[in-house]
């Protein structure tokens, strides 16, 4: 392949990745635990946007259980965000392993 064409392709890929990076902020995914007693919503940048606690799970006598539910919901949200990123970026990156994205 012509080196100039390779550079052009790399430039196009860079532009596509920059656009995709901007779009990550628009991705939303919610993970839940405890039968939806706790839910966490994150964006594609792995920023926690919202947390919902069912009042039934707020018991000051069992704070460790609530902490476990929050961690579990957060983990579920991360998995869903990673899946959304794969759906959005997968075809563009063509199987390349991009650190931090879990692709």
Distance CA 87, CA 20 (A): 11
Tokens of 89: 């970026």
Q: How sure is the predictor about 60, in pLDDT bands with cuts at 50, 70 and 90? A: confident
What pLDDT does residue 41 have? 93
- Give pairs for 10-14: CB < 8 Å, separation 24+: 13/92
Give per-residue pLDDT as tens, 11-25.
787 787 788 778 888
Does residue 37 surpass a pLDDT of 70? Answer: yes
- Given strand 28-33, what is the order of strands in its sheet? 28-33, 38-43, 48-53
Mean pLDDT across 89-100: 62
Residue 24 neighbours by CB distance under 10 Å: 18
Higher pLDDT, residue 25 or 71: 71
Question: Please, how many CA atoms are within 13 Å of residue 32, restricted to the half-sphere of its CB?
Answer: 11
């Amino acid at each position: 392949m012509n080196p100039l064409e390779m550079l052009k392709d790399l430039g196009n890929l860079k532009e596509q990745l920059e656009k995709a990076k901007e779009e990550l902020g628009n991705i939303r995914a919610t993970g839940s635990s405890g039968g939806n007693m706790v839910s966490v919503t994150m964006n594609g940048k792995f920023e926690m946007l919202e947390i919902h606690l069912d009042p039934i799970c707020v018991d000051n006598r069992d704070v460790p259980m609530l902490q476990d539910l929050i961690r579990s919901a957060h983990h579920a949200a991360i998995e869903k965000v990673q899946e959304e990123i794969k759906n959005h970026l997968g075809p563009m990156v063509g199987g390349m392993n991009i650190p931090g994205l879990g692709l």
